[in-house]
Structure 1
Amino acid sequence: MATKNDATVLAFEKKLVPSDGYLYGTTWEKRGQKDQATPLKLIPKSVRGTISNRLKPALQSDPLKLNAEVEKPNLQTVDACALGENQDTLRLHFTLKILGGVEKPSASNGPTFNASYPKVAQAYIEQEGFKELAKRYAVNIANGRYFWRNRVGAEKIEVIVDTGEGKPLTFNGKDFKLSHFDSNNADLQTLAGKIAEALCGRLPYLLISVEAYALVGKAQEVYPSEELVLDKGKGDKSKILYHVNDVAAMHSQKIGNALRTIDTWYPDFDEAQIGPIAIEPYGAVTNLGKAFRTPKEKADFYTLFDRFALGEKLADKNQEHYVMAVLVRGGVFGQSGKD
Structure 2
Amino acid sequence: MELCNVLKYDRSLFPSKAVFFYKTAENDFVPLEAEINRIRGQKAGFTEAFTPQFKSKNLAPQDLAHCNPLIIEECYVPPNIEHIYCRFSLRVQANSLKPSGCSEPTVFALLEELAATYKACGGYKELAIRYCKNVLLGTWLWRNQNTGNSQIEIKTSSGHCYQIANTRQLAWDSRWPADAQQVLDELSEELHLALTDPAVFWHAEITARVETAFCQEIYPSQIFGEKAAQGETSKQFAKVKCVDGRYAVSFNSVKIGAALQLIDDWWDSDGLKRLRIHEYGADKELGIARRSPESQQSFYSLFINTEFYLSELKDQVSKRKPQINNNIYYLFAVLIKGGLFQKKTEKKKTQPPQSEKKIKAKGDS
TM range (shorter): 0.7 to 0.9
1:15-54 equivalences under 5 Å are 15-26=12-23, 35-54=27-46
The Cα shift of 1:244 comes to: 1.1
| CA displacement 1:97-132 (0-9 Å, x = unmatched) | 010131221111123311211111110011125110
1:333 to 341, 349, 358: 341
Q: Alpha-carbon deviation of 1:73? A: 2.5
Correspondence 1:160 to 2:160: no
Task: Confirm or deny that 1:225 pairs with 2:225.
Answer: no
Offset at 1:76? 0.5
What amino acid is the match of 1:285? Answer: D
Q: Displacement of 1:150 after TM fit?
A: 0.6
Q: How many residue pairs align between the two structures?
A: 326
Tell whether 2:268 aligns with 1:296.
no
For residues 51 and 306 of structure 2, the distance between their equivalents in structure 1, rounded to whole angstroms, comes to: 57
Q: Which residue of 2 aligns with 1:125?
A: 119
1:26 Cα offset (Å): 4.0
Cα offsets for 1:202-223 (capped at 9, x unmatched): 6522110001111121221101
Are 1:20 and 1:252, in contact at CA under 8 Å, matched by a contact in 2?
yes
Q: Is the CA contact 1:225–1:251 (under 8 Å) kept in the aligned structure 2? A: yes
User: 1:87-98 alignment to 2 at 5 Å?
Assistant: 87-98=81-92
Partner of 2:132: 138
Which letter maps to 2:155?
D
Change (3 A) 1:96 1:10: same
Q: Which residue of 1 aligns with 2:70?
A: 76
Matched, 1:257 2:242: no
Cα distance in 2, alignment partners of residues 238 and 166 from structure 1 = 44
Residue 257 of structure 1 aligns to a residue whose secondary structure is helix
Counterpart secondary structure, 2:95: coil
| Counterpart Cα distance in 2 of 1:285 and 1:232 | 29
Question: C-alpha separation between the residues in 2 aligned to 1:278 and 1:42?
Answer: 29
Greater mean alpha carbon deviation, residues 102-111 or residues 225-234: 225-234
Q: Secondary structure at the match of 2:84?
A: strand
Structure 1 counterpart of 2:80, from 78, 86, 93: 86
Residue ranges of structure 2 left out of the alignment (5+ in a row): 242-246, 314-322, 348-365
Cα shift readout 1:260-290 (whole Å, capped 9, x = no counterpart) = 10111113655xx4x2111111111234211
Question: Scaled by the length of structure 2, what TM-score is found?
Answer: 0.82
| Structure 1 residue 58, shift from structure 2 partner | 6.8
Tell me how far 1:313 sits from its aligned partner. Answer: 4.2
2:300 aligned with 1:306: no
Cα deviations by residue, 1:69-97 (Å, 9 ceiling, x for unpaired): 21333010001111110112221000000
* Cα 1:20–1:309 shift into 2, 3 Å: farther
Give me the whole-angstrom Cα distance separating, in 2, the residues matched to 1:62 and 1:140: 47
Shift of 1:136: 0.6
Residue 175 of structure 1 deviates from its aligned partner by 3.0
Q: Distance in 2 between matches of 1:203 and 1:193?
A: 16
Question: Is the CA contact (8 Å cut-off) linking 1:44 and 1:77 kept in structure 2?
Answer: yes
Partner in structure 2 of residue 267 of structure 1? 268
Moved more, 253-262 or 199-208: 199-208
Query: Residue 50 of structure 2 contacts residue 57 of structure 2 at CA under 8 Å; is this kept in 1?
Result: no
Task: Tell me if the contact between 1:197 and 1:203 (Cα under 8 Å) persists in the aligned partners.
Answer: no
CA–CA distance in structure 2, aligned partners of residues 66 and 92 of structure 1: 49
Q: Contact 1:282 / 1:293 at 8 angstroms: preserved in 2?
A: yes
Aligned to 1:12: 9
In 1, Cα distance between equivalents of 2:139 and 2:119: 27
Once the two structures are aligned, what percentage of the paired residues are identical? 25
Report the CA distance between 1:177 and its aligned residue: 1.4
For 2:9, the aligned partner's letter is: F
Does the 8 A contact of 1:129 with 1:196 survive in 2? no
1:108–1:226 distance in 2 versus 1, CA, 3 Å = same
Deviation at 1:7, TM superposition (A): 1.2
Bigger shift: 168-177 or 72-81?
168-177
Coordinate RMSD, CA, aligned: 2.6
Aligned residue identity for 1:323: L
Contact 1:6/1:111 (<8 A) preserved? no
Kindly indicate whether the alpha-carbon contact (under 8 Å) linking 1:20 and 1:249 is maintained by their aligned counterparts in 2: yes
Shift of 1:316: 5.3
Q: 3-state SS of the aligned residue for 1:67?
A: coil
Contact 1:136 1:181 in 2 (8 A): no
1:103 counterpart = 2:97? yes
Give per-residue Cα distances to partners, 1:122-169, cap 9 Å, x unaligned.
Answer: 1001112511000011111100000001112x3311000001334410
- Asked if the contact 2:136–2:167 (Cα under 8 Å) also holds between the matched residues in 1, the reply is yes
